[in-house]
A and B are shown apart, each in its own frame.
Chain A
Amino acid sequence: MLCRVADSLFWMSRYLERAENQARFIDVTSSIALGYRGSEQALWSSLLHAGGDAEAFLQRYAAPTRENIINYLLFDRRNLNSVVSCLTAARENARSVRETLTAPLWEAVNRFYLRVRTDAAQQPRILKQPHQFLERIKRSAHQVLGVREATWSHEDAWHFSSLGYQLERADKTSRILDVRYFLLLPMLHTGSEQLDVVQWAALLESTGALQMYRRTWGPIQPARVVDFLVLSPTFPRSLRFCIDAAEATLRAISGNTTADPQNEAEALVSETSRRLASLRAEDIMATGLHPFIDQFQTTLNGIGAAVSGTYFQIPTPA
């Protein structure tokens, strides 16, 4: 497969996944903000931190109000991570490689983009009541995933797309866990206070994990929430699951059936996978979740760069 095409498929998938995560984060935040007893502003601002967009936001908006933040995250074209920007980029990437997508897959991506573009015309109404809009985004994103699953051969194109989804999910789950945990941490340490179950449940829901968590663990306990989102070997948005899946994907791409990694990207994911398999949530919390996630983010960036160097950026031979 052409290097350029692999690159575009990878990014098409990352942007699609990013848009869905953005929608889910906003939806869950809108819901818990109602009747919230802490600082609502801090709650909304945490979404900016999750996307790494706080500074850019403050340069453009007077105040971190709910509406400003939702607008920035959904519609602002100057924000490269807004839903509208993500879908424009996903669609642009898809368009540049549409001959490698199945026709239903291309059409699903194109429809997703067109719907959001049409809806975006009703910006003021959506900012007041975003739920239905966000629900449609999630549904369209899932439709793309379904069409992808049902129509596309599991060959190189599929694998590079999968890799995009896997790395983006690992990134988004780790970021939302980082910023929400930060908000919940003070309450955790006051000891006497009752556990804010609603907030912990919302954190799970931000990654669509609540229902699956309940089936595994039942009652909500902070260490188990961290365990589920970081170390679950079966939940599709946990860090460990995504890394393991990325390892399988990279091996499928290189055709590597040996125990040893064949390139830098494989070496990095394989090492990370082993590490996650050996950790316990209590250990992570004892040494601090934030430094752990910081390091995880650095590793993810390293994997991205290694994939790019191995597969996407091939210099023209002199």
Chain B
Amino acid sequence: MTQTAPNYDELLTPSGVPRHSALSECLAALSADVLAERQKLAEEELLEKGITFAVYGHDAGTEKIWPFDVVPRPIPAHEWQQIEAGLKQRIRALNLFLDDVYNEGRILRDAVIPEALIRTAKTYRPECRGFRPPGGVWTHVTGTDLVRHHDGTLYVLEDNLRCPSGVSYVLENREIMKRVLPEVFEGSVIAPIDDYPERLLEKLLSTAPADAEHPTAVVLTPGIYNSAYFEHSFLAQQMGIELVTGPDLFVDRDDTVWMKTTRGPRKVDVIYRRIDDDFLDPEVFRPDSMLGVPGLMRAFRAGRVTLANAPGTGVADDKAVYQYVPDIIRYYLSEEPILSNVPTYLCSDPQQCAYVLENLASLVVKPTNESGGYGILMGPVASQDERERCAESIRRDPRNYIAQPMLTLSTVPTVINGRLAPRHVDLRPFILFGEQTFVLPGGLTRVALREGSMIVNSSQGGGSKDTWVLQQN
């Protein structure tokens, strides 16, 4: 694929000067053989520790390790401060937005966002109307995707406000780095990340229903065949709380949630649920869901249990609503957005739709309510046939599509066949929202291992890297 502009490399300036000299020197001192050997060690360790993800579309229970690359991705301190401030601002505004859309709807009355756009979002949950979660926290955990274009600017690509995953890999990657490549830490001071489970637990307990004196929190998982099962069990283990599946819980007539233990039922106050809204409660959402808990929404609405994240948050990360986030920030906070949005064309708008259809060859088209990189058309690399089929889908259901210019993701050197070669990366920081908002320094760096590819998703040939927020250069 042809590039119109040179990549932005996170380690080297275009003239080849290291952006972070200590790291570059450490890497240069390692031979290709040593790098390849360490890479192998890292992968063996991942396998032995069972740090795997399930792959859909194969036999049930097929697990793979998620490829880990030993070259870290550094972020300078001053840049991180900006990112952190920008994320906090964004999450605060999005929570105010959620509270507003499910209650007064001021932002719709003031016509900042077209009401129709919200009402037609598949992720809008009428069941949440009139509800206010404890502390005004709708999104306890967010994993915002950031990418750096070749102009050097960081853009927010999407706000993952539902059940973002990946934080377990952030923590495990750091551990593995320390064990297999201790040399590269020399000369760098890196922000620690080990306190994430502690912070998450605090956050969960602090949003318990007010009448719960010694609240009990649990992690709710769809089970061992879910692609993120490792993470669910990892977080439960790290927080020292129970990992439950739907059938382990029940809701009684007083809308109280209980888990079935060998010593009888035990009350549950906070559920960090890693199950999508659709499957949460067969009484309210999909009746065929075997993963959820009948009556859970009843308990939630009665304020008897806290769900993290709250149901209905998906409406704020609908890819069409995304375009309005800068306006949402201005509306609720009277501040200018710190982080940039990618210019976005809404196909629900006839004029913008016409533009998209005419320029498919240069745009990226995304369904408004999908994640995991599914259903995306990369215009510049797609075949004529793929583009035509995409155009057809857009005409059939314009509300379901948006388009954005194709960004060139920045690169980081990556071990490929024992040698370093640039590969495209993104960044997913994790934010715990509340009275004291916490942003985990760094986050998950995903890397597209195929040359030239910009698809970083684990389901589609992506790997990951350790992310370093440098304390001093």
B260 close to chain A: CB less than 8 A: yes
For A160, what are the chain B residues with a Cβ–Cβ distance below 8 Å?
Answer: 262
By the criterion CB–CB under 8 Å, are A107 and B262 in contact? no
Q: Which of B224, B247, B262 contacts A96 (CB 8 A)?
A: B224
A1-9, A69-77, A179-187 - interface stretch? A1-9
* Interchain CA distance A110-B51 in the complex, whole Å: 11
Do A311 and B237 have beta carbons less than 8 Å apart?
A: no
Complex interface: chain B residues within 8 A of A260 (CB): none
The CA of A110 and the CA of B305, in the complex, are separated in Å by: 36
Whether A317 touches B237, Cβ cut-off 8 Å, given contacts A2-B244, A110-B50, is no
B48 A107 Cβ-Cβ under 8 A: yes
B400 on the A face (CB < 8 A): no
What distance in Å separates the Cβ of A237 from its nearest Cβ neighbour in chain B? Answer: 27
B262 A114 Cβ-Cβ under 8 A: no
B62 to chain A, nearest CB (A): 13
- Per the bound structure, the CA–CA distance linking A311 and B261 in Å amounts to 8
Q: Which residues of A contact B233 (CB under 8 A)?
A: 95, 98-99
Q: Is the CB of B224 within 8 A of A114?
A: no
Chain B residues within an 8 Å CB radius of A114: 47-48
**A6 and B47 contact, Cβ closer than 8 Å, known pairs A96-B224, A98-B237, A99-B233:** no
Closest to A111 in B: B48
A-side contacts of B47, CB under 8 Å: 114
Interface of B is mostly: mixed
- Knowing A98-B233, A314-B260 are in contact, say whether A4-B50 is a contact too (CB < 8 A): no
Q: Decide yes or no whether B242 CB sits under 8 A from chain A.
A: yes
Interface contact A2-B50, CB-CB below 8 Å: no
What's the tally of chain B residues with a CB closer than 8 Å to chain A?
Answer: 26
Give Cα distance in the complex from A3 to B242, angstroms.
Answer: 12
Contacts of B71 on A, CB cut-off 8 Å? none
Contact partners of A92 in chain B: CB under 8 A: 61, 224
B262: contacting residue among A1, A106, A317, CB under 8 A: A1
User: Does B248 sit within 8 A of A, measured CB to CB?
Assistant: yes
B97 at interface by CB-CB < 8 Å: no
B109 within 8 A of A: no
Closest CB of chain B to A296's CB: distance in Å?
A: 26
CA distance A314 to B250 in the complex (A): 11
Whether A3 pairs with B224 at a CB distance below 8 angstroms is no
Cβ of A156: which chain B residues have Cβ within 8 Å of it?
A: 262
Q: Which of B23-55 contact A (CB under 8 A)?
A: 47-50
Are A4 and B49 interface neighbours, CB within 8 A? no
Given A98-B233, A99-B237, is A316 in contact with B261 using a C-beta cutoff of 8 Å? no
Interface flag for A284 (CB, 8 Å): no
Residue-wise interface mask of B (235-279) relative to A, using a CB-CB cutoff of 8 A (1 in contact, 0 not): 011000011110110101000000111110100000000000000
Q: Which A55-81 residues sit within 8 Å CB-CB of chain B?
A: none
Cβ–Cβ contact B48 & A110, under 8 A: yes
Add 8 more A-B contacts to A4-B260, A98-B50 (CB < 8 A). A3-B262, A6-B262, A92-B61, A98-B233, A100-B237, A103-B49, A311-B262, A316-B247
